[in-house]
A and B are shown apart, each in its own frame.
Chain A
Amino acid sequence: MEGVAIIGVGQTRYLRVNPNSHDEMAFEVTNKALEDAGLTIEDIDNSVTCTNDFWDGRTISCMTVTDATGSSRVPTTNVEGDGTYGVLMGLMRILSGHHNTTLVVAQSKGSISIPGLITNAIFDPLCERMLGLDAVSSAALQARSYMAKYGITEEQCAKVSVKNHKNAKNNPYAQLPLDITVEEVLRSRMLADPIKLLDASPVSDGACAVILARESVAKTKCEKPVWIRGVGHCSDTYHLGDRDLSDVGALASAAKRAYRMAGIKNPREEIHLAEIYDAFSYMELMWMEGLGFCERGGGGSLVDSGFSEMGGPLPVNPSGGVLSAHPVLVAGLARIAEAVLQLRGEAGDRQVEGAKVALAHGIEGACGQGHCVYVLQK
């Protein structure tokens, strides 16, 4: 695929509590992205916001940010889902030929939400909710299923957490830059066996904005456009009991679409870094398998080998990933923003040298039921 580039990105610092409201954070990142792209709001001819009524505690939650994102003046729509899906909507609007420059914004305030209740509402109201399922307990089922099938150990999962919190030390936007050891992860408080506190992503506040532009605009307005070369999204079925939780079929299917579009045949060789949605440490191992970086079940030995570390053959989550800041809805958009900074060579201390092709990934629903994958290129 040709023709659409990301020409501006903006992020807040991710915090446990950001005193600013949703619209104040959205306003901040909208302006940062415009400044980054060298544009004014007048140059934006359409917009996509990403909100969720449950997380935002408000019906028609996109109303919160119509003014703050300049959406009141242009055709706009609202994707209820991760920011990666919002970028997909923006991409389609440009490819349709009817729009030139799309602003995509997501904002989230975990600090004013009750994540356990909100994620409990993902599950079937009659049969599943009263079991106490939420994002953490369902992830624990998936982690156990995955570990049992492939012999993955808690130590291997812990290594992901150690790596990503360490990477976060190089990311000024990250919420949890930490020097921790595998021992400390293993000894941290148990949330839902086998997931311990340091295997889990934090509750976060923050916002992110991305500006997309068609080729003719990108080439005249931007010195370092980052091209969207491939995108794919796919959903597994709904009930946890109907799914093979240890499998990553939906991700593999989404990745296959994105790779085919981008002409990538050997992702392990052709992709230089990946920013993926590691809401829990085990997820990074599973998603690496779904993305074709290794065989199914090979995620554990991959992290053992140092493959995904900074300086390794394919650094995964140089930013510190979602484990180091998890503003829901924003997190996938932040993966894209981080991949863009890497490809521009503007990622500061977390820069992966010589990065030309990057992968960004977002998830939707419980245990990665839905996935959205991007291949981005310098």
Chain B
Amino acid sequence: MESKGHVDKATVCTSFKNERAIGTLVRFRGKEHGKMGNRVGIVGAGQTHHRSKIPQCNGQELIGIAVRRALESADLTMKDIDAVVIGNMDHFESINYVDMWSVLGFGGYMKPVLKVTTGGTTGSAVGHAAFYHVASGLFDVVLAIGWEQNSESDTTAAIVTHCEPLIERDFYGGAIGGLAAQYSMYMDKYGATEEDAAHVSVRDRGNAARYNPYAHLRAEITVEDVMKSPYISYPLRLLHMCPRSDGACAVLFAREEKATKITPKPAWILGLGSSHRSTYLGDEMGLAGLHSLEIASKQAYEMAGIREPFKQIDVAEMYLPAASAGVSWMEAMGFCEEGGGPAFIRSGVTNMGGDLPINPSGGVIATNCIGATGLIRIGEAALQIMGKAEERQVPDAKIAVATGFGGCFWSDVMIISSLRQLD
């Protein structure tokens, strides 16, 4: 059986709109990496100004703001959109069939719409699904939307119901418990400390405060502030954790020929990886790092042709739900040696101006509108590549990585670049 490898566009059929081309029949030729059915570029992104509560908007209106901003950024209208992918987590707002309800928010009357939901990875899964819409040849320009209005919800109560009802639900401590246990193991194994994680809080919250007008929490904090904040679940303190936010994000994906017409510098998607490997929380608890992230990044690096991630990647937007993850997941990405997280973070290489800035946007511990969070990482990474990240721009960023985390310690990874392919 042939596997992932070199493909070429053999046949083109007819388009829905202009009777030209809908499908690309992809035939496999070999085992080279980095070639796709249709090359896909990101051509625009938009987001709300995220807040703990945006009382003047309902969910449809939040979506409307993000979509309008994304369309304006690419100088497109809804008429140019061939299909829509949307995602959120149902139990936060208690709207069933959001794909149908949200049609009012994004102007999707008579459009093809599909919903993807995978928990915390929803946003990244929506981005991946939009990629497949375009790469398949079925659609030319696709709108991806992630959103959440956490002010409508009792977030932890809703999250707790993701646990297996008989075995795990009674004692599960929300999203924090598993992350706390994981970092405890990492601390035990490698001698990492709460202060190491505090450095990640200071970095991300500082970036949000200084550079990102869309971020939710925009106040500078110090290591002392973090260490004085109360424990939520040992060893994680309040300022180690992400907030819950209201907000939406929209990202536009386009087929190569369209993308280059829409914008002079599309952000090309070179690699994808995804690992949803666990069903029970205990499945991941034997490990101090994040095994799914290791698997997903390997897949994405292989597809993109990245051999030395730390050297080659210019900027990372990572779904770090707690500052501790910013220490203990670095080796899963191949950024440092096993157990090298604390030294890596303290060296400052991941700060703005360092060799590999992580989360110029301020990341998830500054903003967490859950169903949007993974898609914001993709949108922010694309803005960096397109040179449109304004004050948070990493100069001359050519290769970016965006990750998603959620579900039951699951990971999604996307590699985005100004280059159509790597050597």
Contact = CB atoms under 8 A, between A and B. Distances in A.
Interface stretch (A175-183, A190-198, A310-318, A363-371): A363-371
B162 interface: yes
Contact of A53 (B38, B90, B116): B90
Given A58-B165, A100-B2, A365-B99, 19 more contacts: A3-B25, A45-B3, A54-B90, A60-B407, A63-B407, A63-B408, A72-B276, A72-B277, A78-B118, A79-B116, A80-B99, A81-B97, A89-B116, A92-B138, A98-B4, A125-B95, A235-B99, A365-B97, A369-B97
A114 B3 CA distance: 44
A1 B90 contact: no
Contact of A97 (B28, B133, B138, B408): B28
A235 B408 contact: no
B137 interface: yes
A53 B162 CA distance: 9
Interface stretch (A149-157, A166-174, A249-257, A285-293): A249-257
B172 to A, nearest CB: 11
A203 B15 CA distance: 40
A52 interface: yes
Given A1-B23, A77-B118, A365-B97, A236 B1 contact: no
B26 interface: yes
Interface in B101-155: 101-104, 108-119, 125, 128-129, 131-133, 135-138
Interface string B270-286: 00111111110000000
B114 A88 contact: yes
A1 B21 CA distance: 10
B274 A77 contact: yes
Nearest to A257: B16
Interface in A299-326: none
Interface stretch (B6-14, B240-248, B388-396): B6-14
A249 B110 contact: yes
A232 B36 contact: no
Given A1-B22, A236-B109, A53 B117 contact: yes
Given A59-B89, A63-B279, A77-B118, A3 B128 contact: no
A96 B36 CA distance: 7
A118 B273 contact: no
A341 to B, nearest CB: 25
A43 interface: yes
A76 B101 CA distance: 25
A216 B10 CA distance: 14
Interface of B: 1-4, 7, 11, 13-14, 16, 22-28, 35-38, 87, 89-91, 94-104, 108-119, 125, 128-129, 131-133, 135-138, 158-162, 164-165, 272-279, 299, 303, 406-408
16 contacts: A1-B23, A2-B25, A54-B96, A58-B162, A63-B407, A72-B276, A80-B115, A95-B37, A96-B26, A96-B136, A97-B28, A97-B36, A232-B112, A235-B111, A253-B110, A257-B16
Chain B CB count within 10 A is highest, among A45, A95, A236, A369, for A95
Nearest to A3: B25
Contacts of A57: 161
A89 B108 CA distance: 19
A45 to B, nearest CB: 7
Interface of A: 1-3, 43, 45, 51-54, 57-64, 66-67, 71-73, 75-81, 85, 88-89, 91-101, 118-119, 121-122, 124-125, 214, 216-217, 220, 231-239, 249-250, 253-254, 257, 260-261, 364-366, 369-370
Contacts of A253: 110
Chain A CB count within 10 A is highest, among B25, B102, B165, B406, for B25
Contact of A216 (B28, B36, B275): B28
Given A52-B90, A58-B165, A79 B114 contact: yes
Contact of B97 (A97, A122, A231): A122
Contacts of A239: 104
A157 B189 CA distance: 68
A121 B103 contact: no
A370 B162 CA distance: 27
B323 to A, nearest CB: 23
Nearest to B2: A216
A370 B115 CA distance: 11
A151 to B, nearest CB: 27
A59 B158 contact: yes
Nearest to A217: B1
Contacts of A220: 1
B132 A119 contact: no
B303 A119 contact: no
A191 B310 CA distance: 64
Chain B CB count within 10 A is highest, among A1, A71, A80, A249, for A80
Given A59-B162, A121-B94, A238 B100 contact: yes
B110 A250 contact: yes
**Which 6 A-B pairs have CB atoms at the shortest separation, nearest pair first?**
A365-B100, A60-B119, A96-B135, A95-B136, A97-B37, A92-B136
Contacts of B113: 233, 235, 370
Contacts of A81: 97, 99, 114-115
Contacts of B89: 53, 59-60
Nearest to B271: A98
A89 B162 contact: no
Given A97-B36, A257-B16, A369 B279 contact: no
B346 to A, nearest CB: 34
A66 B96 contact: no
Nearest to A88: B114
B129 A77 contact: yes
